[in-house]
Amino acid sequence: MVFSSLTFLCFFFPVVVILHTIFRDIRVRNGVLLVFSIVFYAWGEPLWALGMIFTTGVNYACSLILERTVNSGRRKLLVFIACAVSLAFLVYFKYAAFIVNSLTGLFGREYTMAAGRLPIGISFYTFQAITYTVDVYRGRSQAKKNPLLALLYISFFPQLIAGPIVQYGDVAERLSARSASVRDVYKGMSRFVVGLSKKVLLANLCGEAITQLPAAGGGSPLSVLGSWLLMILFALQIYFDFSGYSDMAIGMGRMFGFSFPENFNYPYISKSITEFWRRWHMSLGAFFREYVYIPLGGNKASKLRVALNLMIVWALTGLWHGAGWNFLVWGAYYGALIIAERFILARVLERTPGILRVAVTLILVLFGWSLFYYDSLSAGIRHIGAMVGIGGGGVIDPASVYVFKNSAVLMLASVFCCLPWTKMKTEGNHMPTVIDRAGSFLRPAFVSGLLVLSMLFLVGQSFNPFLYFRF
């Protein structure tokens, strides 16, 4: 089940909200959220829910024992067991075929292991399970005595399958005591509708435009225009697809009394690759910083060691997104750029005009999306070649011109929505009171219009994928 489906919007979500509102006892409310979270996850494949429950059980048990254990060696062993079991499921389902096929290819064997179906959201809930045990180990939060609360934390349906990745310490207290005011419900619903409209009105339409390009699957040469057009459309699609889903998750969380971390902060206005990754998928960056980069030594080491730490983190970031050489190279690509910005280009960047820095950053990001878009590294490299005129596809082709003309308005609207217009106020220059009042009056009408329009588009759309389901 996905948020942008009529089943979820018309039946599942309204029922959860009604029941959560009717019952005032926090234990009953948690029970409602837990039951519906399990149903939500098991909707497509019930067996996958058992793996998530087992992972939760291991981390719950290890965390309880952790709080009663003083011996440092035993505490570290418990953390290792919890993390190893959690990661074992992730490695088996997501990376086993990639590892086996890479090794057999390296040694010249003809055996090929077929990749199995990936449990939805396994990368997200695995990381949350790890934060549960590690946060208890660090003393940041106490383990829940009630196993159902631990399961609710990991299985909570708004952020279960696509994040944001919520660290246990950030919501531990709210699992047992929380409240949501009328303002929280209103703000949460508004945030949800904005996210839904991003997904339905922008991401899906950009995705449909991509399918009209004759070489979108990498089967035939792309012209220079076609290659750039595809990557621009994909950059817009994946941003509105994922940030829209994050908005919906954050909005629903607020309606139920939770405060989830922001996941996107207008990344396409970044003036460097380092800034881009501080604005894109922020909860993933926070996880790798807190649970990988800092334990490796972080910045408190020699430049060579810091560079190595960064490259390890970015290689893991690439592999987290997918089991393939293209994802590994994609992660290493960003790792190399960030290392270069920190140790080589820092002074150059300081002297470069902001608009030029934004333009260069966007070009580098589009090259990166070329590696991310395809299923193979070779296809991604060919696409980058096409973007710089290598590959025999020519400069312009009629099909790309046709798609460009048809999608020009969509791209302009999407680019407009990538900019933080609501935050663009000069210091000390406040909007007049009349305009403020008009905005407070028009905002509910605007949000209602977005909801109606999104629902109408969903009724007529057959193209409604979610890109991050494969992670």
Q: What CA–CA distance (Å, rounded) separates 30 from 171? A: 13
The residue annotated as part of the active site, out of 20, 281, 321, 383, is: 321
Helix axes 224-255 and 182-197, enclosed angle (nearest 10): 160
Is 321 designated active site? yes
- Residues marked as catalytic: 321
